[in-house]
Structure 1
Amino acid sequence: MAVNNQKKSQIISRQRVAERGEVFTAEREVNAMLDLVANECLRPDSRFLEPACGNGNFLTAILKRKLSELRRKYKNSPYDYEKQAIVAIGSLYGVDIMRDNVDECRERLFSIWNEEYTAHCKSEASEEARQAAKFIISRNIINGNALTLMCVDSEGNDTSAPIVFSEWSFICGNQIQRSDYTMYELLQKKEIRERTLFAQRDEKNEEGGTFLRRYITHYKKVQDYGE
């Protein structure tokens, strides 16, 4: 379900409700739901996917909780905070069919991340890390149709491009690995896991989906490899 904050109406327009079923959830309900998985909201690497993310109230609320915990845990280590803040922003995924929602969600996530990052790291904050976070957000928040699992055009109509998510994983020191998978394959794999107690795991399945692209680089350089 799409979400919005309490300062705005729960609907933008009746037309959007009729055409897209867009109804926004109040902030109080968002936090009540997140309290049910409170411990997961504190782990920087615990992944969350909102398939109708709206302008991002669920995702921004989760990010605030993650960053607050990181600030407490790494209050004397800006370097470790920076790395884990990248992990945290890389753990949040969203899809929405409305382009304005996607743009606002991306902006809100980066604004929250950057404000906390700058406040904590102060003079040690780097523009490279900011650009890395912004790039990761652009890869993780997708303008698409979560029902058909396809990206959409400016009118909200399906294109021929599937929704693709990037998995971000630190593998050694400052090196981060990006691995791309289609949303379709990730959901198919999830269904297989739920149905099968013991399954043979080949290289494809071990990664959780069909491999599309992978590279390894310094975590501040992820944006240098383009889309």
Structure 2
Amino acid sequence: MSDLATAAEHEPDPSGPAARAVVSLVRSKQRVADHGEVFTPPELVEAMIGLVESEAERIDSRFLEPACGSGNFLVPVLRRKLATVDARYGKSDFERRHQSLLALMSIYGIELLGDNVAECRANLVELFTSHLGLAPDDELYAAALAVVGLNIVHGDALSMQTRARTPKPITFAEWAYLGRGHYQRRDFRFETLTQMSSFSEEDSLFSDLGKHEIFTPTKDHGAVTVSELAEGGRG
């Protein structure tokens, strides 16, 4: 299965140097042989996201990449969501911060290789924090670390198990913004979420359908604040 990480050959800026920047499409032949890790050119990524542009621009529309690599698809999606936040909530710092966190909360990934997991989390947090101009001691910074730690999972999307000494079923946190700086978190097992496709075309991956017991969360954390999330990010 392709690892879909960032890489491509770029044409130089006509106004810049005539040199051509070349980025390898693979990290090593061994990784290709062992894991099928092949990078996706950015222009192809943009074309694919363009097919679902309206969803990518929705703040709360959830995206799951089952072989997320270093975030080649997820980072551009988050960038679009943050642009929507700025357009809608740019005049309110409070709403801009909290809606931006909601945008980050809507990004999910599964990745087989541990170094890619760390890189994907770092890339998402770097985009989020630089976009908002956050200092490392800002509690929203720590909250972002906690969110990506939960949403970007080191696991195998085929077996639906985590990559750990003792594998466990992959679990995702479903986030919702309740307003006034509060979020709702409910945890669902990935293997049960995938069964939603058997109901109808209108049913989305994380919809609260209430049609079957498999859609009952494994844990409901209730309402949480940025400060409470930040404690997890600092841990």
Q: Normalised by the size of structure 2, how large is the TM-score?
A: 0.82
SS at match of 1:221: helix
* Greater fraction of residues in helix: 1
Deviation at residue 3 of structure 1 after TM alignment:
2.1
2:154 to 106, 119, 143: 143
In 2, the alpha carbon distance for the partners of 1:225 and 1:213 equals 17
2:222 to 206, 215, 218: 215
In 1, the alpha carbon distance for the partners of 2:216 and 2:68 equals 23
- CA RMSD, 1 decimal: 2.6
In 2, the alpha carbon distance for the partners of 1:65 and 1:164 equals 26
Map Cα deviations across residues 130-165 of structure 1 (whole Å, 9 max, x no partner).
111111011000110000000013xxxx74311111
Could you tell me which residue of structure 2 aligns to residue 5 of structure 1? 7
Deviation at residue 186 of structure 1 after TM alignment:
0.7
Whether the 8 Å CA contact 1:189–1:209 is kept in 2: the answer is: no
Could you tell me which residue of structure 2 aligns to residue 118 of structure 1? 133
Letter in 1 for 2:111: D
Letter in 2 for 1:189: M
Q: Gapped runs of 5+ residues in structure 2? A: 9-21, 204-208
Matches within 5 A, 1:43-192: 43-118=58-133, 127-153=138-164, 159-192=166-199
Q: Gapped runs of 5+ residues in structure 1? A: none
Question: Structure 1 pair 174/204, CA: closer, same or farther in 2 (3 Å)?
Answer: farther
In 2, the alpha carbon distance for the partners of 1:25 and 1:69 equals 25
In 2, the alpha carbon distance for the partners of 1:65 and 1:33 equals 14
Matches within 5 A, 1:30-41: 30-41=45-56
In 1, the alpha carbon distance for the partners of 2:120 and 2:114 equals 10
Question: Structure 1 pair 52/127, CA: closer, same or farther in 2 (3 Å)?
Answer: same
In 2, the alpha carbon distance for the partners of 1:40 and 1:218 equals 26
Whether the 8 Å CA contact 1:144–1:150 is kept in 2: the answer is: yes
SS at match of 2:5: coil
In 1, the alpha carbon distance for the partners of 2:144 and 2:202 equals 36
Deviation at residue 21 of structure 1 after TM alignment:
1.1
Whether the 8 Å CA contact 2:186–2:217 is kept in 1: the answer is: no
Map Cα deviations across residues 195-214 of structure 1 (whole Å, 9 max, x no partner).
99xxx945745xx3542342
SS at match of 1:55: coil
Question: Structure 1 pair 79/172, CA: closer, same or farther in 2 (3 Å)?
Answer: closer
Whether the 8 Å CA contact 1:186–1:209 is kept in 2: the answer is: no
Letter in 2 for 1:77: S
Deviation at residue 73 of structure 1 after TM alignment:
2.2
Letter in 2 for 1:218: T
SS at match of 2:73: helix
Whether the 8 Å CA contact 2:143–2:232 is kept in 1: the answer is: no
Higher mean displacement: 69-78 or 81-90: 69-78
Q: How many residues are treated as equivalent by the alignment?
A: 214
Deviation at residue 25 of structure 1 after TM alignment:
0.4
In 2, the alpha carbon distance for the partners of 1:94 and 1:182 equals 14
